[in-house]
Structure 1
Amino acid sequence: MSAPPPLSSSPRRWLALAALTLSVLIVGLDGTVINVALPTIAGELHADSAQLQWIGGGYLLTLSVAMLPVGLLGDRYGHKRLLLSGIALFGLASLGGALASSTAQVVAARAVLGLGAAAITPLSMAILPRVFAKEELPRAIAAWTAATALGMPVGPLVGGWLLNHFWWGSIFLFNLPVAALALTAGLWLLPRDRTRARETPAFDTLGTLLGGLGITALVYGTILIPQLGWTHARVVVPLAAAAVLLTAFVVRERRHPHPIVDLGLFADRRFLWGTLIAVFVNFAVMGILFVVPQYLEAVLGNDSFGTGLRVLPLIGGLMAAAAASEPLVPRLGVRTVIPFGLFVLAAGALLGATSDGSTGYGFTALWLSLTGLGFGLAVVPATSLVMGSLPTDNTGSGTSLLETVQQLGGVLGVAGLGSLLGYGYLARVRTDGLPAQAAHTARDSVSGADEVARQLHDTGLAASAHEAFVHGMNLVLTACGTISLLAAVLALLFLPGRATCSRTVARSPREHAESVA
């Protein structure tokens, strides 16, 4: 009996891509949809600020920690099997969140959601090379990247609409039909897992423990920075512990015969520089996505739904870049396209850094579009570069390493750039003559200053707070632009040329025949 045709030559490959993008879309949505619901949850469940912080922090911790080993588990036991398990877990955790009646239950549900997301993101990427041939892989990566990015600004939009019409648990319940659809489509459309030898090397438990504890300490310390500052003991101690544990993890992985991540991948210039460029871009874009929604809501006066709509120009630029990068890379090469994208990203951020208190949304939409265009032109070819460097039998470990490093870069970006935003805001806001408690509230955040100004009918305070926030935002955008310029120079100097990039590992006829649903 002849083997069925490979999925890479079947029209069903685009439906398979839709299933993969749907799965990462719900992860992106869930990462930000919770933010608009926090005030409602605080009121309904009587949650304090520390508990609210861990609704987001618990998700971030489990996502970051679980992402490293899940790639190796996928390589050993099947990408499709673990991906579908992650989607199912995500759906069940969403149901648990919708039914939660206490803050602790919400934190637990969010932590389990992080575990599901840790399986979905790297393994959905690892499946792409088995669905698409080399020529079409950049287009698939572009669509996958657009789906991951789309969820971030759309999350507040969806959350705002749900909260306007339903109770707070609807932001969790919304995930259920989407997860069910992604699970059904994945079962039907994704290529079956390859048969593996029954004997597998022993799992590196100590390496997993060192990596998990190191990442936990790093993320824990980092998410406390905006609240406590860089020099507080509760920040310094976990960051120092993270440095020790992650150093021990690297030493362990370099010496272990069967590590959970192959650090030797960094010896390949495609993987090394593709990953570093992706980290630089993620650092900058996460900082932008952290500050811009606050600007649109607090300074320009939009609600959550309106804010989500007004961030969409960034996604429009990303989608335009995703379409443009496919023909540009073969013609010009990654050493031209990626630096150009980084220069455009820098131009967008630096243009945004010229905003002032009277700047309207039209100007914001312009520089957001440029930022999205540069983001797509840089990150899509960089991701394709990384994927082309991975061995066909261990794509899960490689994508887990890429996504973990990107995730940590994003966490550090939000913490560092968030501190810069706070510094710029405090340097300009004027609270002279206010009662002590009112001054403290006004200096804590621009939204707090607006609330105090409303209560005291102090238009001068509101104007001062808005001007101060724009000043802090401009510092953040300047930093993002500078980081992007630095990344562009590094890309020009160190990215491999076309000859290196064209080397890919060819799939054997057997591997092609196995890539069928």
Structure 2
Amino acid sequence: MPTVTSPDGARQDPRRWLALGALVATMLVLGFDMTILNVALPTMADQLGASTGEQQWMADAYVVVFAALMLPAGLLGDRFGRRRMLITGLGIFLVGSLIGTLVGSVALVVVARAVMGLGGALVMPLAMAVLPALFGPGERTKAVGIVTAASALGLPLGPIVGGFLLDHFWWGSIFLINVPMVALGITACALLLPETTDPSAPKVDALSTALVASGLAALVYGIIEAPGRGWSDPLVLGAEASAVVLIGALVLRERRVARPMLDLSLLAHRGFLLNTLAATLVMFVLAGLMFVLPPYLQAVLGNDALGTGLRLLPMMGGLVVAGRATEPLVRRFGSPAVISAGLTVLAFAAILGSRTTAGSGFGFTALWLSIAGLGFGFGTVPAMDAALGTLPVDRAGSGSGLIMTVRQVGAAVGIALLGSLLSGLYTDRLDTGGLPDPAAGAAGDSVVAAHMVAERTDAPGLVASANSAYVHGMDVVLLVSGIAALVAALLVAALLPRAVRDAATGTGMAPAPTDVRQ
């Protein structure tokens, strides 16, 4: 296809909807892979002997690399072609999936997930970056909703297909299933997506990229290791101090260079900042919830992997309903009201979920999960669209890379922080009295491990204690998530309408990115 050089011309091209189909295929791959791993973690913990901390690393290795490399990935797309870099990212994702299929240890699974994160870093921001070039403001909300819904559609498909595979094949099949999905995405992008570039984009800064990657890795490492070692442990304190220094050095460097990779001037625009933070908070809660929920459904409620995947459908149903209803609601009430309402609904769902007990059963869980899905959808789609709407088309790759980076940092911190909170509460609450030290230590690794220990040792009461301890930890995680969502809803309601009015009148805005980069 010819290179799209004029945003107006691209918006009139009837192929833009076919191009959107290519983006849907790529986002399906990422959404599919996110939840297929989460539902597999209890099985992998069983077969690989992975502790809660190691499970966090299997989940977070992908997200940390993803977040660290999205900014340079967006710039590469701006300079060398977004379609070309999308196809490259999908190819790297394919390589990581093949590695995951062939390995047999926790460490190598983490490596495979990191490689997949590298591929995902190229795919995610560029899939969103081409939308302003393809669609005008009147169509962009719908396009963002479709792409977001495609990613959301992968969420329920992942657990269901993953559950089926785990019930019939080895756990490596959850990586192998990515191969045909990636092949479909590569084919669709090559045939349907027009090429868009911005040769004037700044070059990729290797030092800034290294500071992002090492700073995030140190931050996540300290959070994950804290429950086992203690927050006052020198290694944990050193990791967190290193994270502060590295991220601080990144900010100072980016503020001084003439053409920064991390365009912090965008954050001076309150509308961009608030919309991005709202979407980030939603990712924080969603990532933490998707990490803590599968062990509850599988170990505590006793479902197999397929049953666990099917029981995540109420949340996905809420996401789909919200995705369809968002556009007319935004037209009628405005994005600030819809975003604030979405965060409020999410807060209500999380606080309601914090009332779960070991004997609640799935009916109560399905209720609050469906409400949470509505909150996720109403909070994410309008926030992402409003944030993207502040970006000039020729800075779409680097600007959307910043948005997606902040969101994925939220996801990584959500998994690390909420997972660590759960791990500490579970260990403190678990009764391992009467067990030998090795068995007690194994039971404290995870609720799945406690069930295995109970089977081997015939320990009376261990299963009940483990289930109660895990649900208690999950309840606290949900309560913290709900409070955070409620605070965010109040801030959005108070501050975002004024930011929107300022943008409409041209007051209170940061200089245009094209001016800042001169």
The alignment status of 1:136 with 2:136, answered yes or no, reads no
Paired position in structure 2 for 1:146 = 149
1:146–1:315 Cα contact (<8 Å) kept: no
- Distance in 2 of aligned mates of 1:173 and 1:156: 15
Percent same amino acid at aligned positions?
Answer: 49
TM-score, length-scaled by structure 1: 0.88
- Distance in 2 of aligned mates of 1:111 and 1:468: 31
Query: Residue 268 of structure 1 aligns to which amino acid in structure 2?
Result: H
Query: For 1:49-60, what aligned pairs fall within 5 Å after superposition?
Result: 55-60=58-63
How large is the RMSD of aligned CA atoms in angstroms? Answer: 2.9
Report the CA distance shift for 1:41/1:492 in structure 2 as closer, same or farther (over 3 A): closer
Paired position in structure 1 for 2:27 = 24
- Distance in 1 of aligned mates of 2:300 and 2:378: 30
Paired position in structure 2 for 1:471 = 472
- Figure out how many residues of one structure are paired with residues of the other and give that number: 500
Paired position in structure 1 for 2:493 = 492
The alignment status of 1:392 with 2:396, answered yes or no, reads no
Deviates more, 1:292-301 or 1:458-467: 458-467
Report the CA distance shift for 1:133/1:348 in structure 2 as closer, same or farther (over 3 A): same
- Distance in 2 of aligned mates of 1:180 and 1:502: 43
- Distance in 1 of aligned mates of 2:268 and 2:235: 36
Report the CA distance shift for 1:235/1:60 in structure 2 as closer, same or farther (over 3 A): farther
TM-score, length-scaled by structure 2: 0.88
How big is each residue's C-alpha offset from its partner over 1:467-505, in whole Å with a ceiling of 9 and x where there is no partner? 22221111111111100110011001111355456689x
Paired position in structure 2 for 1:339 = 340
Paired position in structure 1 for 2:161 = 158
- Distance in 2 of aligned mates of 1:171 and 1:503: 51
2:198–2:394 Cα contact (<8 Å) kept: no
Report the CA distance shift for 1:135/1:228 in structure 2 as closer, same or farther (over 3 A): farther
SS in 2 for 1:246: helix
CA apart distance, 1:163: 3.0
How big is each residue's C-alpha offset from its partner over 1:415-442, in whole Å with a ceiling of 9 and x where there is no partner? 2222322343244333333333333333
Query: For 1:189-228, what aligned pairs fall within 5 Å after superposition?
Result: 189-194=192-197, 196=199, 203-228=204-229
Deviates more, 1:185-194 or 1:24-33: 24-33
Report the CA distance shift for 1:362/1:203 in structure 2 as closer, same or farther (over 3 A): closer
Query: For 1:438-457, what aligned pairs fall within 5 Å after superposition?
Result: 438-457=439-458
CA apart distance, 1:228: 3.5
2:96 to 93, 97, 101: 93
- Distance in 1 of aligned mates of 2:192 and 2:81: 15
1:181 to 178, 181, 184: 184
Paired position in structure 2 for 1:245 = 246
- Distance in 1 of aligned mates of 2:505 and 2:19: 26
1:139–1:323 Cα contact (<8 Å) kept: no
How big is each residue's C-alpha offset from its partner over 1:186-224, in whole Å with a ceiling of 9 and x where there is no partner? 112112224736xx7554343333333323322333343
- Distance in 2 of aligned mates of 1:43 and 1:430: 21
- Distance in 2 of aligned mates of 1:208 and 1:108: 19
How big is each residue's C-alpha offset from its partner over 1:231-253, in whole Å with a ceiling of 9 and x where there is no partner? 33332212211111111111111
SS in 2 for 1:432: coil
SS in 2 for 1:356: coil
Paired position in structure 1 for 2:74 = 71
Paired position in structure 2 for 1:255 = 256
Query: For 1:293-332, what aligned pairs fall within 5 Å after superposition?
Result: 293-332=294-333
- Distance in 1 of aligned mates of 2:367 and 2:481: 17
- Distance in 1 of aligned mates of 2:77 and 2:450: 49
- Distance in 1 of aligned mates of 2:479 and 2:472: 11
Report the CA distance shift for 1:432/1:67 in structure 2 as closer, same or farther (over 3 A): same
Report the CA distance shift for 1:37/1:369 in structure 2 as closer, same or farther (over 3 A): closer
Residue ranges of structure 2 left out of the alignment (5+ in a row): 507-518
Residue ranges of structure 1 left out of the alignment (5+ in a row): 505-517
How big is each residue's C-alpha offset from its partner over 1:298-336, in whole Å with a ceiling of 9 and x where there is no partner? 111111111111111111111111111101112111221
